[in-house]
Amino acid sequence: MRTQVSDRAAATCILMLCLVCLHVTALKSQLFTRLGALPYSPEPPVSYKTFYFDQKIDHFGFLEDGTFKQRYLLSDKYWQQPGGPILFYTGNEGDITWFCNNTGFMWEIAEELGAMLVFAEHRYYGESLPFGPDSYSDSKHLNYLTSEQALADFAVLIQNLKGSLPGAQHSPVIAVGGSYGGMLSAWFRMKYPHVVVGALASSAPIWQFTGMVPCGDFYKIVTQDFAKSGHNCDASIRKSWKAINNVSSTVSGLQWLSEEFSLCAPLKNKNDIFTFKSWLQETWVNLAMVDYPYEANFLQPLPRWPIQVVCKYLSFDSAVSDYQLLQGVSQAAKVYYNYTGSSPCLNTSQTATSSLGYLGWFYQACTEMVMPMCTDGVQDMFEPEEWNFQAFSDECYAMFGVRPRADWAGAVYGGKEISSHSNIIFSNGGLDPWASGGVTSNISHSLVSIMIPDGAHHLDLRYSNDLDPPSVRAARALEVKSFREWIKKAKKTHCAAPTH
Ligand SMILES: *[C@@H]1O[C@H](CO)[C@@H](O)[C@H](O)[C@H]1NC(C)=O
Ligand SMILES: *[C@@H]1O[C@H](CO)[C@@H](O)[C@H](O)[C@H]1NC(C)=O
Ligand SMILES: *[C@@H]1O[C@H](CO)[C@@H](O)[C@H](O)[C@H]1NC(C)=O
Ligand SMILES: *[C@@H]1O[C@H](CO)[C@@H](O)[C@H](O)[C@H]1NC(C)=O
Ligand SMILES: *[C@@H]1O[C@H](CO)[C@@H](O)[C@H](O)[C@H]1NC(C)=O
């Protein structure tokens, strides 16, 4: 049981990126009420037009001939016609407007590149549901929720835009994406090099799959982030699991824990404690993903360098009692869940919601996106747990009636054998646990890795900020330089063509 539920937690990490849409919108207004004008908010409002494109439900077979309306957002304010470049965001597991809002980098470089911006929603997320609200009700429908279908959607959409927008026929297109969206942008360039001249794959763990990287690397990075953010911070968290087990062994201890953590629903039994620990583990992982150098509202509204703030409550020495330690853990968790002061209670099933993003991503993790994760409690600060594919597979079968194909992602996208491709930038943050599955060294002159040592999850895609470390400024500059080279080369190729 333990393994199964925990496997789920591991496999759903990326998906945090999408669950969040709901939180973010709900909390934004509260944040503004409490803090008034945010000190860091020179972010210009984004402005785009929303369109819907009739997309084939199944690109790869001919029996299902239906279509669905794929949502995409378009901004041509700075587009230089004819032939100005198109920056195309390959949408991931959530509402595309939320990704659009959180990809300030594209908005900031549109003018200097004279680029049109397009943000394409991934099928089965946001409003792009092939079978309407029923999309998730029948696993037969979910059969068309694959990255291959999503890439085909993007290709068909781009071909259509080029054919229908005056002045776009010869526009070079560059794919941009973060996280799973970054994996898609890299794969898009690999599979459709005639459609995009290059790709920026930010924090894209394209090697997080079976047999490609050690399963423990992900949680090692999480642990390192805490280790370097405060005295004994990782050690305290490592100790907290036993403390929870001990304290929760009595009825009064359970009650104390529930009250100390201000839980919405009191802990009653072993099962609740298991959920509670998984929830805490996910909290630390999420903090590692969003350890940004400035106050930000990505997964949750958080202070600048939130792990440092969290670690202030966790700097215990070895004599600390279980109760003191857990009091610190509770205060630390509340930095994440109650920074705005507007949470009445903490909900340990918050990440188990059946929102569309959650189900969609979990289905993808249960089919072709199998990402093994494990912990040993020594090199990381978590309870030891091996990767158990069979247990994971059984859980997928129980949930969706499908079993994962552990090796498919490697077979279809090449795994580590990608050197024959070109024009892809893989950027990764040293603080981001997903860097564990990322491309972190240069593969060839045009498959380039950019490391941002003090960056968390796709920091480079966010709006620039006065508190940005030099490493992310340098990364963005290098990215734009490559964009310009790709665009220039595409124009030259086109001009040399006899048809011109
Ligand atoms: C995106 O930003 C706009 C304002 O520019 C806002 O109205 C909208 O609610 C945001 N969407 C999400 C999902 O955060
Ligand atoms: C377990 O908790 C009790 C109080 O409930 C405490 O006295 C004891 O020291 C704890 N044991 C360990 C090993 O920390
Ligand atoms: C969140 O913070 C507010 C303001 O400090 C406080 O009143 C409230 O009790 C806190 N909620 C939780 C769950 O701790
Ligand atoms: C806790 O979260 C779950 C999932 O989002 C929700 O169904 C439930 O109502 C929440 N409980 C409370 C007390 O807020
Ligand atoms: C890859 O090469 C580029 C120069 O093309 C360099 O700036 C970058 O630091 C290299 N990346 C790594 C991870 O060494």
Q: Is the pLDDT of residue 188 over 50?
A: yes
- Give the per-residue pLDDT at 21: 27
Residue appearing with tokens 């509260």: 30
> Is the Cα torsion angle 14, 15, 18, 24 positive or negative in sign?
negative
How large is the angle between the packed helices 251-260 and 233-247, nearest 10 degrees?
Answer: 140
Alpha carbon distance 482, 448 (integer Å): 10
Of 20-24, 192-196, 230-234, 432-436, which range is least confident? 20-24
179 is catalytic: yes
Mean pLDDT, rounded, for 45-66: 95
Domain 49-209+414-496 has CATH 3.40.50.1820: yes
Report the b/e string of 127-139 with b at 16+ CB within 10 A: ebbbbeeebbeee
Q: Which residues are within 8 A (CB) of 300 and not within 5 positions of it... i.e. 6 or more apart?
A: 20, 23, 27, 286, 290, 336, 337, 339
Q: Is the pLDDT of residue 307 over 80?
A: yes
Task: Report how far ligand 5's centroid is from the alpha carbon of 486 (Å).
Answer: 17
What percent of the chain stands above pLDDT 70? 89
Q: Which two tokens stand for residue 229?
A: 């953010």
Of 34-38, 202-206, 211-215, 464-468, which range is least confident? 34-38
- Give the per-residue pLDDT at 352: 32
In this predicted model, what pLDDT tens digit does every residue of 58-91 receive, in sequence order? 999 999 999 999 999 999 999 999 999 999 999 9
Residue appearing with tokens 């990326």: 14
Could you tell me if the CB of 22 is within 6 A of ligand 4?
Answer: no
Of 37-46, 365-374, 433-442, which range is least confident? 37-46
The helix/strand/coil state of 144 is coil
Position with higher pLDDT, 254 vs 350: 254
Q: Is the pLDDT of residue 48 over 80?
A: yes
> Atom 12 in ligand 1: which residue has the minimum CA distance?
98
Mean residue pLDDT of the chain comes to: 89
Mutate to test the pocket of ligand 1, among 19, 27, 28, 97 (most ligand atoms within 8 A of CB): 97
Cβ 89 vs Cβ 176: under 8 Å: yes
Q: Is the pLDDT of residue 325 over 80?
A: yes
Domains of the chain by residue range: 49-209+414-496
Ligand nearest the Cα atom of residue 440: 5
- Give the per-residue pLDDT at 35: 30
Mean pLDDT, rounded, for 423-448: 98
Q: Is the pLDDT of residue 162 over 60?
A: yes
The Cα-based distances of 113 to 25, 76, 170, 171 in angstroms read 31, 12, 15, 12
The count of residues in the chain is: 500
The helix/strand/coil state of 230 is coil
In this predicted model, what pLDDT tens digit does every residue of 82-136 receive, in sequence order? 999 999 999 999 999 989 989 999 999 999 999 999 999 999 999 999 999 889 8
Mean pLDDT, rounded, for 378-388: 98
Residue 299: band (very low, low, confident or very high) from pLDDT cuts 50, 70, 90: confident
Q: Is the pLDDT of residue 327 over 80?
A: yes
For 387, other C-beta atoms within 10 Å of its C-beta total 18
Alpha carbon distance 499, 327 (integer Å): 72
In this predicted model, what pLDDT tens digit does every residue of 252-290 receive, in sequence order? 999 999 999 999 999 999 999 999 999 999 999 999 999
Q: Is the pLDDT of residue 395 over 60?
A: yes
The helix/strand/coil state of 89 is strand
Predicted model pTM: 0.91
Task: Report how far ligand 4's centroid is from the alpha carbon of 88 (Å).
Answer: 36
Ligand nearest the Cα atom of residue 330: 3
460 is catalytic: no
Residue 324: band (very low, low, confident or very high) from pLDDT cuts 50, 70, 90: very high
Residue 31: band (very low, low, confident or very high) from pLDDT cuts 50, 70, 90: very low
Cβ 382 vs Cβ 235: under 8 Å: no
The helix/strand/coil state of 364 is helix
The H or E element spanning position 109 is helix 104-113
> Atom 6 in ligand 5: which residue has the minimum CA distance?
450
What percent of the chain stands above pLDDT 90? 83
Q: Is the pLDDT of residue 13 over 60?
A: no
- Give the per-residue pLDDT at 498: 53
Residue 152: band (very low, low, confident or very high) from pLDDT cuts 50, 70, 90: very high
**Which member of 432, 460, 468, 482 is catalytic?**
432
- Give the per-residue pLDDT at 179: 96
Residue type, 377: G
- Give the per-residue pLDDT at 138: 87
- Give the per-residue pLDDT at 351: 52
Q: Which two tokens stand for residue 329?
A: 């853990």
Q: Is the pLDDT of residue 2 over 90?
A: no
Cβ 255 vs Cβ 339: under 8 Å: no
Q: Which two tokens stand for residue 95?
A: 């509402």
Residue type, 245: N
